[in-house]
Amino acid sequence: MEAVSDNGRSGLGGMGTGRSAVTATVAFDGFRFLAGGATVLIEGTRIVDVLPAAAGSPDGWEVLSAAAILPGLIDTHVHLVGSGEPDALRVDIDRTAEQRAEVIERSLAQQLAAGVTTVRDLGDTDWAVGERGARPGEPTVLSSGPPITIPGGHCAAMGGTAAGTDQLRAAVAERAERGADIVKIMVSGGAMTAGSNLLALQYSEDDVRLVVDEAHRRGLAVTAHAHSLESVRLCLRAGVDAIEHCSCLTETGVVDPPDLGGALARSEVLVTPTFGRLPELAPSPQAEALSRATGFSLADRFTQVGGFHRAGVRLSAGSDAGIHPAKPHGVLPLSVLELVGCGLPVADALATATGAAAEGIGLAGHGVLRRGARADLLLLDGDPATDPAALLRPDTIILAGTPITAPVSGGSPTPS
């Protein structure tokens, strides 16, 4: 299900003609900065042209200007049922369906306030996100439904357990029937489930290959949660389309074997390191325990991911938003800044949250300033090329042609 929230309004607040022009001297098109900025012409919910800023705006079009313009951001890894409290995914299990629906609505509002106009949910409970449907004024939502995991395994309480050939086949069939946009499988253990071992494999290579074959036969891609080096290598052999976390952990911390970046690059697998956290907050107790047990450090991961980029690995900035206090919804811009810290040029880091993210999740017509694309735009009051932190200061967010004024701090965005 692609829950596109085209809201039927007539563009830029419906001021008169429904034809509007957004102009900025700095413009990023989803992959690169456009020399001389751009004027983006919008009719209804779509971009109808992208002109040099110097070309000016056609007569009779409403004009909005900003310091910088870029596509609305795409977070390829969120958990909308998590509201950023400690142990959020466990807390969610005890909610009523009504309470869970409120959390999902609030999570989407927080994402939008940060300039995120598309999210991909990689783990809900009881299909709460997958079967919710599109709502006007909200980001576009793609979703996996509950992740496939072993009984008692990582995130098993979300309702997606399957073991053995018959159950795995049935699990993929169920996802296709319910309209999931992607199949998510937990190949290694995870930090946020008590008793789960990150370094342990949950499935065999044959199991993962079966899931990949069944999903591909039904036109669905597969993304794998994989923390350990062993699980990452298994995923590559089994032919998954994407790897979440990809921490390459061993008992002695994060490793980056010389052949791995090249192997990930050649496979064209989309790697989402799930960076992005509020720097002022302590890491989760689970992350601290992991550091004590294995010597894991974020600094090692930044070095590793910088190396992945140099090796040509496809990266997405997806943040794992919602799972604990340091990862609230809307944390994606901080993930982009951390990727800059890994050594990615600013344009490449921005692409991991716009054009390359859309391409990586197979979402055509999103994440780009291009004729025919959906008019999801982020307007900034500074130049992200020279000041990447400008990304933390959205000026105006345009969702399917309709401007949303960013709140001064926190809270929900309001249509302007």
Q: CB-wise, 140 or 193, nearer to Zn ion?
A: 193
Q: CB-wise, 320 or 395, nearer to Zn ion?
A: 320
Q: CB-wise, 82 or 139, nearer to Zn ion?
A: 82
Q: CB-wise, 186 or 212, nearer to Zn ion?
A: 186
| Six-digit token string for 180 | 């999931």
- The partner residues of 394 in beta bridges, in order of sequence, read 380
What does the binding site for Zn ion look like in residue numbers (CB under 5 A)? 320
| Six-digit token string for 176 | 């296709």
Closest contact distance (angstroms) between CB of 365 and Zn ion is 26
Q: CB-wise, 21 or 240, nearer to Zn ion?
A: 240
Which pairing describes strands 402-405 and 414-415: parallel, antiparallel, or unpaired? antiparallel
Closest contact distance (angstroms) between CB of 329 and Zn ion is 13
Closest contact distance (angstroms) between CB of 185 and Zn ion is 12
Closest contact distance (angstroms) between CB of 79 and Zn ion is 6
Q: How far apart are CA 49 and CA 41, in angstroms?
A: 5
Closest contact distance (angstroms) between CB of 68 and Zn ion is 30
Q: CB-wise, 186 or 344, nearer to Zn ion?
A: 186
Closest contact distance (angstroms) between CB of 272 and Zn ion is 9
Q: How far apart are CA 270 and CA 223, in angstroms?
A: 9
Closest contact distance (angstroms) between CB of 154 and Zn ion is 10
Strands of 140-143's sheet in order across? 73-78, 116-121, 140-143
Q: CB-wise, 79 or 374, nearer to Zn ion?
A: 79
Closest contact distance (angstroms) between CB of 144 and Zn ion is 10
Q: CB-wise, 35 or 194, nearer to Zn ion?
A: 194
